A = this chain, B = another copy of it.
Amino acid sequence: MTDGSLAVVGLGPGPVDWLLPEAASVLGQATDLVGYVPYVARVPERAGLVRHATDNRVEVDRARHAFALALAGRHVAVVSGGDPGVFAMAAAVFEALEADPTFRAVPVRVVPGLSAMQAAAARLGAPLGHDFCAMSLSDNLKPWEVVLRRLTAVAEGDFVLALYNPASNARPARLGEALAHLRDLKDAATPVAFARAIGRPDERVHLTSLGEADPALVDMATLVMIGSSETRWVAGADGRRWMLTPRSYGRGTT
């Protein structure tokens, strides 16, 4: 065992109001921060806190670096946006641990955080009120055929779908292909919402339908929420619409 330690810490979607006290406490005791530049930048300055901010594309290198620091006796916080367990750094850390048995000497802890789909759901109403799936549309790490197979399964199970990483500069057409695939399997009137940067100053919500959803309105900071056959709009105060997936199933037309 080393005297050091490694914690994977979720910073949530952005605002400090959405940072868990456990995360704030672990960040307050860390000697070193490891993470993607904008996440490391979110943590307040403190005397003695060493920052190791890296590019986004080297997650396992970043995890290995964190283990090496911990083996040297440092208390390392690997910081991640959202929940580190959901399409974020926790998996990379355990992949690094799996690949190098010397890292087993490091005590590891995962500190959860609020994920983007939860922030989006809170703003939209209750889209995740019944069974749902969460998928990353990035195909950097999985074949596109797997994405399509999973979209088919989501439609066959009539799940609500929260889509992460819906757009990238490298693959701008992917979301359009995914929506076209779902249109073959689901009703065009299915409620869809684009929830962008929820909780941050540039937050923006766009409500649409599967038939009319325009991928051009989506960027990498957007969470795309796609309803089940039961999902519907509910009128609220001041003419606003809420997205509701009711708790019961089978009242509808499926």
Contact = CB atoms under 8 A, between A and B. Distances in A.
A236 B104 contact: yes
Contacts of A128: 85-86, 134
Contacts of A85: 118, 121-122, 126-129
Contact of A126 (B93, B122, B125): B93
A111 to B, nearest CB: 7
Contacts of A150: 131, 157-159
A112 B15 CA distance: 13
B141 A249 contact: yes
Tell me how many chains of this kind the complex includes. Answer: 2
Most buried by B among A19, A119, A121, A123: A121
Interface in A208-245: 232, 234-237, 242, 244-245
A127 B250 CA distance: 31
21 contacts: A12-B20, A17-B21, A18-B21, A20-B114, A85-B127, A85-B129, A86-B118, A87-B247, A90-B125, A90-B126, A91-B246, A94-B126, A94-B244, A101-B235, A106-B237, A130-B142, A133-B133, A133-B134, A133-B157, A143-B250, A152-B156
